[in-house]
Structure 1
């Protein structure tokens, strides 16, 4: 039995959003962190690698056909939803600091307003899809 259709769109949304982010963190870490130390660059690349791995898990589920059941995909979707709390929090903090806290900060992939909206959207869709998948 294929997994619940409510899980396809959130996983695809996550994949489309996090692929550019993973590329940015891996190949352009200085765009994410101005004046970054060599250790911070390594941490940024580590995060990019983690995002890439999560994206590959999404891709496995999206292309796996009937191999996966609702419960598994729903639980993984709920796990992915928890990730999006943290980039949403980062975007909120950047906005709360105001322009003074953002001196010389680059707008990478849309800036904090876009990040907040997109990550809240991913959080809600993955959480909602996960719950619907568990209940089906």
Structure 2
């Protein structure tokens, strides 16, 4: 496998877990949410799954095309937003009000998404 494809594999692994959580346990992501919020969270989980399909296409195609580089940039910019969410949750001590720390909590999320961001930017620049 070409090293530039590694971020796509990591994204697939990380976001599969997140998608399953958003789809099947939206209350873990947003405790006490109403039905409308659950629908939006489930839709977001579906969107994450669609990014995983893109990752599968990139990983299985031969070589590493210009389109793959462009998709690396797009997926890299996505990871800025989970970093922001994790930062806000940490900075405002929002985890104290949560019953459980879904998928490891904001500190782990921040680290993982920063790594994903960096790997995708590296793939884009390769």
TM range (shorter): over 0.9
Larger Rg: 1
Hey, what does 1:55 align to over in structure 2? 52
In the TM superposition, residue 5 of structure 1 has moved relative to its aligned partner by 2.1
5+ residue gaps, structure 2, are: none
After TM superposition, the structure 1 = structure 2 runs for residues 32-47 of structure 1, keeping only pairs within 5 Å, are: 32-47=29-44
TM-score, normalised with respect to structure 2: 0.93
- 1:103 corresponds to 2:100: no
* Count of residue pairs brought into register by the alignment: 125
C-alpha RMSD of matched pairs (Å): 1.4
SS in 2 for 1:51: helix
Hey, what does 1:80 align to over in structure 2? 75
Deviations, residues 79-129 of structure 1 (Å, cap 9, x unaligned):
00010000000000000012xx33331200000000000000000000111
Hey, what does 1:114 align to over in structure 2? 108
Hey, what does 1:123 align to over in structure 2? 117
TM-score, normalised with respect to structure 1: 0.87
Deviations, residues 14-70 of structure 1 (Å, cap 9, x unaligned):
11111100111011111111000111101100110000000011011112235xx52
Distance 1:7 1:19 in 2: 20
5+ residue gaps, structure 1, are: none
Distance 1:65 1:52 in 2: 22
